[in-house]
C-alpha cells in the first residue's frame, strides 16, 4: 500500500465528513500534516479536474491524487519543501494557481481573543468581520465571526462558488469565534456565512454582523471594503469636545438623505454621498445650521423606511455610495464648519433571515423569551443587553462611527423602549427585574457605558427619550445615564397642540406654552421638530397651523422664532424651513418648487435669519440648561395670548423675546425691564421679507417707568401672530 493509500485508509471517515460538509474542524485534516505515514498536503477542490503542487516560483513539485470523487486531493510533500501552492486545472482546461488557506495559522493573537471573550475590545470592528491582511507575505482577507453555538461556520462567496465545504472556519472554543484567512482574494469580494446549528441543521445564509459594506437586495451579501480615504479635518478632530457643545450654539438640520433632493431628470434617483457633499453641505451652511443630523445611514433592508431597522450596524448604506464616499461627505461637512450627527439604533433589529436573528441557531444577539426579546409593535427583536459580547458589538458600532467616520454625535433612538421592561406591553407580557421593578437594569448599565465611551472619544450623544426617567443627560458619576442631550418630547407635543388651536381659544390652553419651563432645566434639552411629526397623518408643520393661508404662515413663523428664543438646543426636520405642506414621502424629494412663492421663500428667509441671530447672540445659547439664563417678563397674559421673557448670557447681556399668538396688532404693549439699555430688532417674524404684513415694533425706547415689578419698561407695537427677538444694540 503506498503512502497516499495508507493516509486515505487512516482518515477515511474524516475525509468523507469534509467532502460532505459535516466536519467541524477541517484544519485538522486539510493543509499540510505530518503523520506516521509521511508528510501530506490535503486539499478539497470540488470544481477541479486535477490539482498539482507547485513551488512559489511555479515549478511543478508533484501531482495530487484524487482520493474522493467529490474533489478531495492528497499528495505526499516532497522532501525539503516547506512552501507550496496549488495549480488547479478546471474541466474547461483553464488553470489557476492559489495558496492553501488551510496552511495559515490563526491571525487573532492571545490578547485579541482574550479581549473579545471579555467583551471589552473597543476596536472589535478591526478584529471581527472581513479585513484585508497580509500573512507570511501573502495578501488575502481574514474573516472572523462570533457564533458560539454553531457546529460549523464557513465563509462562502464569489471566490468559492458559495460552497460552504471549501472554507470552513477555525473555531476558538474559549470565546466562540470562528476565523479563517483566505489568501488571494481582496477588495470587493462578496461573502456571507454558512452556519450549521448545534444539531447540524443548515441555517439561511447570514450576512456579516461586522460587514462594512453591503450589496443591494435581494443579494444582501457583505462586501470586503478597504478604506482608502485621506481626511482633511485634523484640526476639527483635535478641537471637538462634548463640553463645547453644551455652551455653544447648536442648530440641527435633520435629513433623510434619500428624499432631501432627487434627480428628477434621471429617473428620480437619489443623490449619492458625493453629490450630497456638493449640494446639501453648501445649503446647510448657507442656511446657518451648525449641525446635520442624518437619519440612520447604517445598512437597512427597506428603501421606504426611515432606516430605523438596521441590518448592518457597521456599514453606511450602499444606496448612496461606498463607505469612503460617506467619509467624503463628513469631511466636507467639517470643512464647512458643520458637525455631523448620525441616528443610531441599538434598541432593536429586524427579523430578516440574513440578519442577526438566531444567528447561530440560538437567540444569540436577542433574548430567547419574547417577553424580553421582541417588540410586538414593531415586529423586531431586542438586543440582549445582559450579554457582554452583545454590548461589545453595540459599543463597538458606536465607536466605529465616531472613530472611523469622524461623526461628532450619536443620536440614540427609542431609548424609552430600552429602559422599561414593560414598554408597550400589557400585564403578563413582560418579566420584572430582579427587584420586581419594570426598569431594564442591563440596558441602563449598557447606556451608561456607551455614553462614557462616546464622550471619551470626543463625541456627543443624544437621547430620544419620551418619559420622566430622571437624569438622562446627567453624568454617569452623578447618577445619570450620561447622555449629553435629551430630546424634549413634552415641549414638542405641548406646543404643537397649542399652535393647532384657533387663536380665539388659545387663552384656554396658555399653560401648554408655559409648562415646559417648569422642567426645562432638569435635563440638557434639545427642542425637536423632528421627522416623527410629519408622518402617519400628523400633517406637516404648516398643515397644523389654523386659519387661512396668511394666518397659517404667520403662525408657523411665530412658532419657529419662539423655539429659537426658548431655552434648549434646536432641531428642525428638512422641509419645515420651506413650509412644505405635504407629509414626508420616501419616494420623492422635498417640494423645492414651493420656493417660487413668497410665503414659502419667506419662511426659508426667516430660518436663515434666525440661525444668524441665534449664533451671534450668546444670550440665546450660552445658558440653556440653568434657570440663571431665563427669566419670564410676563408668562400670564393669557387673555392676550402673549408671552414675554429674557434670555441671559454669562456676562450680563440679555435678549428679549415676545410672542403674540393672536391675529391682533397690539399697540403700546408695555414690558418691564431690569435696566436701561439700547436694543435693536434681531427678528420680527411679521417682516415683509418673511411674508408678513410689515408691522414693526416701533421705537425701542426704554424709560424709567416701573412695570411687571421691574424699574424700567418699554412700549412696543406687537405685530399680529408674530414673535420679536430684540438684541443689544451695541
CATH number of 553's domain: 3.20.20.80
Residue 98 and residue 165 in one domain: no
pLDDT of 401 over the 80 cut: yes
Catalytic residue among 87, 112, 208, 464: 464
Q: What is the pLDDT of residue 4?
A: 66
682-703 pLDDT, tens per residue?
999 999 999 999 999 999 999 9
C-alpha cell at 390: 452583545
Catalytic residue among 87, 245, 366, 413: 413
Mean per-residue pLDDT for 131-159?
A: 97
194-216 pLDDT, tens per residue?
999 999 999 999 999 999 999 99
pLDDT of 472 over the 50 cut: yes
Closest C-alpha to 645, from 659, 628, 625, 624 = 659
For 36-40, 179-183, 409-413, which range has the lowest pLDDT when averaged over its residues? Answer: 36-40
Mean per-residue pLDDT for 276-301?
A: 97
Q: Which of these three, 73, 103, 133, is where a domain ends?
A: 103
Q: Is residue 520 part of a domain?
A: yes
Using 50, 70 and 90 to split pLDDT, how confident is the model at 9? low
Phi, psi at residue 331, to the nearest 5°?
A: -60, -40
Q: Is residue 275 part of a domain?
A: no
Domains in the chain: how many in total? Answer: 4
Catalytic annotation present for 477: no
Q: What is the pLDDT of residue 628?
A: 97
Distance in angstroms (rounded) separating the CA atoms of residues 348 and 351:
10
Q: What is the pLDDT of residue 158?
A: 95
pLDDT of 13 over the 90 cut: no
For 107-121, 221-235, 356-370, 440-454, which range has the lowest pLDDT when averaged over its residues? Answer: 107-121
Interhelix angle for 388-404 vs 110-118, to 10°? 110
The rounded mean pLDDT for the chain is: 94
Domain extent for 433: 285-578
Mean per-residue pLDDT for 412-425?
A: 96
Q: What is the pLDDT of residue 717?
A: 97
Using 50, 70 and 90 to split pLDDT, how confident is the model at 36? confident
Cis preceding-peptide flag for 218 (omega within 30 of 0): yes
Q: Is residue 73 part of a domain?
A: yes
How many residues are present in the chain?
Answer: 730
569-614 pLDDT, tens per residue?
999 999 999 999 998 888 899 999 999 999 999 999 999 999 999 9
Q: Which of these three, 63, 78, 103, is where a domain ends?
A: 103
Q: Is residue 251 part of a domain?
A: no
Residue 520 and residue 669 in one domain: no
pLDDT of 359 over the 50 cut: yes
For 185-189, 376-380, 444-448, 570-574, which range has the lowest pLDDT when averaged over its residues? Answer: 376-380
CATH number of 686's domain: 2.60.40.1180
Residue 343 and residue 212 in one domain: no
Q: Yes or no: say if 480 and 447 are a contact pair by the CB < 8 Å rule.
A: no
Residue 380 and residue 441 in one domain: yes
Residue 643 and residue 568 in one domain: no
Residue 203 and residue 305 in one domain: no
Using 50, 70 and 90 to split pLDDT, how confident is the model at 1? very low
Query: In the 8-state DSSP scheme, what is residue 153?
Result: E
The helix/strand/coil state of 75 is strand
Distance in angstroms (rounded) separating the CA atoms of residues 610 and 622:
16
Using 50, 70 and 90 to split pLDDT, how confident is the model at 148? very high
C-alpha torsion 105→108→110→115, nearest 10: -160
CATH number of 39's domain: 2.60.40.10
Other Cβ atoms within 10 Å of 234 Cβ, number: 9
Other Cβ atoms within 10 Å of 438 Cβ, number: 15
Q: What is the pLDDT of residue 570?
A: 98
Mean per-residue pLDDT for 613-618?
A: 98
Residue 299 and residue 435 in one domain: yes
Catalytic annotation present for 502: no
Residue 573 and residue 468 in one domain: yes
Residue 99 and residue 118 in one domain: no
pLDDT of 557 over the 60 cut: yes
Q: What is the pLDDT of residue 308?
A: 86
How large a percentage of the chain has pLDDT more than 90?
88
Q: Is residue 370 part of a domain?
A: yes
Q: Is residue 229 part of a domain?
A: no
Distance in angstroms (rounded) separating the CA atoms of residues 373 and 383:
7
Q: Yes or no: say if 414 and 359 are a contact pair by the CB < 8 Å rule.
A: no
C-alpha torsion 494→495→497→503, nearest 10: 140
Q: Yes or no: say if 16 and 68 are a contact pair by the CB < 8 Å rule.
A: yes
Amino acid at each position: 500500500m503506498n503512502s497516499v493509500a495508507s493516509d486515505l485508509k487512516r482518515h477515511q471517515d474524516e475525509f468523507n465528513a469534509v467532502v460532505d460538509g459535516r466536519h467541524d474542524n477541517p484544519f485538522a485534516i486539510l493543509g499540510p500534516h505530518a503523520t506516521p505515514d509521511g508528510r501530506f498536503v490535503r486539499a478539497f477542490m470540488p470544481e477541479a479536474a486535477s490539482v498539482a503542487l507547485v513551488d512559489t516560483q511555479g515549478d511543478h513539485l508533484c501531482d495530487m491524487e484524487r482520493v474522493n470523487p467529490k474533489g478531495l486531493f492528497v499528495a505526499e510533500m516532497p522532501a525539503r519543501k516547506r512552501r507550496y501552492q496549488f495549480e488547479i486545472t478546471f474541466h474547461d482546461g483553464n488553470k489557476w494557481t492559489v495558496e492553501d488557506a488551510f496552511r495559515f495559522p490563526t491571525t487573532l493573537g492571545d490578547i485579541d481573543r482574550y479581549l473579545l471573550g471579555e467583551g471589552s475590545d473597543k476596536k472589535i470592528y478591526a478584529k471581527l468581520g472581513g479585513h484585508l491582511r497580509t500573512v507570511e507575505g501573502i495578501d488575502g482577507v481574514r474573516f472572523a465571526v462570533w457564533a458560539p453555538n454553531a457546529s460549523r461556520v464557513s465563509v462562502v462567496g464569489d471566490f468559492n462558488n458559495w460552497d460552504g465545504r471549501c472554507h470552513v472556519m477555525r473555531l476558538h472554543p474559549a470565546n466562540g469565534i470562528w476565523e479563517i484567512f483566505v489568501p488571494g482574494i481582496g477588495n470587493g469580494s462578496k461573502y456571507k456565512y454558512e452556519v450549521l446549528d448545534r444539531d447540524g441543521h443548515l441555517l439561511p445564509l447570514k450576512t456579516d454582523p461586522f460587514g462594512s459594506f453591503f450589496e443591494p437586495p435581494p443579494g444582501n451579501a457583505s462586501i470586503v471594503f478597504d478604506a482608502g480615504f485621506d481626511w482633511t479635518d485634523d484640526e476639527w478632530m483635535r478641537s471637538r469636545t462634548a463640553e463645547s457643545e453644551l455652551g455653544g450654539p447648536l442648530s440641527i438640520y435633520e435629513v433623510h438623505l434619500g428624499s432631501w433632493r432627487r434627480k428628477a431628470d434621471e429617473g428620480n434617483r437619489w443623490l449619492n454621498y458625493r453629490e450630497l457633499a456638493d449640494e446639501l453641505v453648501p445649503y446647510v451652511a448657507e442656511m446657518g445650521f451648525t449641525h446635520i443630523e442624518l437619519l440612520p445611514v447604517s445598512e437597512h433592508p427597506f428603501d421606504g423606511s426611515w432606516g430605523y431597522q438596521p441590518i448592518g450596524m457597521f456599514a453606511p448604506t450602499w444606496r448612496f455610495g461606498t463607505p469612503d464616499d460617506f467619509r467624503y461627505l463628513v469631511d466636507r461637512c467639517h470643512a464647512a464648519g458643520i458637525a455631523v450627527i448620525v441616528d443610531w439604533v441599538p434598541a432593536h433589529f429586524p427579523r430578516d433571515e440574513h440578519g442577526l436573528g438566531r444567528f447561530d441557531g440560538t437567540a444569540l444577539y436577542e433574548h430567547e423569551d419574547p417577553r424580553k426579546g421582541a417588540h410586538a409593535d414593531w415586529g423586531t427583536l431586542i438586543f440582549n443587553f445582559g450579554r457582554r459580547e452583545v454590548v461589545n458589538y453595540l459599543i463597538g458600532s458606536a465607536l466605529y462611527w465616531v472613530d472611523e467616520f469622524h461623526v461628532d454625535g450619536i443620536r440614540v433612538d427609542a431609548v424609552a423602549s430600552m429602559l422599561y421592561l414593560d414598554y408597550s406591553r400589557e400585564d403578563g407580557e413582560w418579566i420584572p427585574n430582579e427587584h420586581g421593578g419594570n426598569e431594564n437594569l442591563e440596558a441602563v448599565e449598557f447606556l451608561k457605558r456607551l455614553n462614557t465611551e462616546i464622550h471619551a472619544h470626543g463625541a456627543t450623544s443624544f437621547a430620544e427619550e419620551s418619559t420622566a426617567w430622571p437624569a438622562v443627560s446627567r453624568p454617569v458619576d452623578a447618577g445619570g445615564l450620561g447622555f449629553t442631550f435629551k430630546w424634549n418630547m413634552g415641549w414638542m407635543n405641548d406646543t404643537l397642540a397649542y399652535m393647532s388651536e384657533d387663536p380665539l381659544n388659545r387663552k384656554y390652553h396658555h399653560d401648554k406654552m408655559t409648562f415646559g419651563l417648569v422642567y426645562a432645566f432638569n435635563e440638557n434639552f434639545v427642542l425637536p421638530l423632528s421627522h416623527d411629526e410629519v408622518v402617519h397623518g400628523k400633517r406637516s408643520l404648516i398643515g397644523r397651523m389654523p386659519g387661512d393661508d396668511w394666518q397659517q404662515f404667520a403662525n408657523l413663523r411665530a412658532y419657529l422664532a419662539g423655539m429659537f428664543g426658548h431655552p434648549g438646543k434646536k432641531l428642525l426636520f428638512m422641509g419645515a424651513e420651506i413650509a412644505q405642506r405635504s407629509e414626508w414621502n420616501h419616494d420623492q424629494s422635498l417640494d423645492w418648487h414651493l420656493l417660487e412663492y413668497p410665503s414659502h421663500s419667506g419662511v426659508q428667509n426667516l430660518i436663515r435669519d434666525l440661525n444668524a441671530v441665534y449664533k451671534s447672540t450668546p444670550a440665546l445659547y450660552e445658558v440653556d440648561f440653568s434657570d440663571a439664563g431665563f427669566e419670564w417678563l410676563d408668562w400670564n397674559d393669557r387673555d392676550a395670548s402673549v408671552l414675554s421673557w429674557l434670555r441671559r448670557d454669562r456676562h450680563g447681556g440679555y435678549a428679549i423675546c415676545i410672542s403674540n399668538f393672536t391675529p391682533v396688532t397690539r399697540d403700546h404693549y408695555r414690558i418691564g425691564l431690569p435696566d436701561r439699555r439700547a436694543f435693536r430688532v434681531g427678528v420680527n417674524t411679521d417682516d415683509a421679507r418673511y411674508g408678513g404684513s410689515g408691522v414693526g415694533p416701533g421705537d425701542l425706547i426704554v424709560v424709567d417707568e416701573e412695570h411687571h415689578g421691574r424699574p424700567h419698561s418699554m412700549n412696543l407695537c406687537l405685530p399680529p401672530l408674530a414673535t420679536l427677538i430684540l438684541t443689544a444694540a451695541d
